[in-house]
């Protein structure tokens, strides 16, 4: 048995177009869009009467894939959650970036919330990074990291 790689990260959203625009503004590219439904999908995800719409996105280097999914049915009764950085479960997606200041300024201009100003930190191997957490639409948290050379 051998694991090759992570294929993609799936994010369920309510406003698919807003999430798509957020990740386009961030620099990802659309790889495909479509609608899925049917008994096979019901069995795969363990729900009934599933009707979805999705957008597959990818970083320009084709190393990271994101699947943004809107469930038209069934709907999530809890609604959008805005977790804190320490809430249990999968919490954020980290991206290595160039020119973190420009990216953060661009996203803030579009109304995205930062958790703090950009911070400089040392990692485990005495490598220094500039880090910042950004909250996008529907509570999506991105960690941006730029290595300081």
Q: Where does the chain hold its CATH 3.10.180.10 domain(s)? A: 9-73, 93-148
Give the max Cα distance, the chain.
52
Mean pLDDT of 90-98: 90
Question: ω into residue 74 within 30 of 0, thus cis?
Answer: yes
Whether the per-residue pLDDT at 29 is higher than 80: the answer is yes
Vertex 17 angle, CA 106 and 13, to 5°: 100
Percent of the chain exceeding pLDDT 70 equals: 99
User: What's 9-73's CATH class?
Assistant: alpha beta
Whether the per-residue pLDDT at 125 is higher than 90: the answer is no
Percent of the chain exceeding pLDDT 90 equals: 62
Which uninterrupted H or E stretch holds 56? Answer: strand 51-58
| Least confident segment among 4-8, 16-20, 61-65, 122-126 | 122-126
Q: CATH number for 93-148: choose from 3.10.180.10, 3.30.110.30, 3.40.190.10, 3.40.50.300.
A: 3.10.180.10
């Amino acid at each position: 048995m051998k694991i090759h790689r992570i294929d993609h990260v799936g994010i369920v959203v309510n406003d698919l177009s807003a999430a798509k625009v957020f990740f386009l503004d961030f620099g990802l590219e659309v790889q495909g869009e479509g609608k899925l439904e049917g008994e096979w999908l019901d069995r795969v995800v363990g729900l009934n009467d599933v009707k979805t719409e999705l957008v597959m996105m990818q970083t320009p280097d084709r190393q990271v894939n994101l699947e943004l999914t809107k469930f038209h049915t069934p709907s999530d009764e809890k609604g959008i959650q805005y977790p804190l950085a320490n809430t249990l479960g999968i919490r954020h997606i980290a991206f290595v970036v160039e020119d973190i200041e420009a990216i953060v300024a661009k996203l803030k201009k579009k109304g995205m919330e930062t958790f703090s100003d950009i911070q400089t930190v040392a990692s485990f191997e005495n490598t220094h990074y500039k880090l910042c957490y950004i909250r996008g639409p529907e509570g999506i948290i991105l960690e941006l990291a730029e290595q300081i050379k």
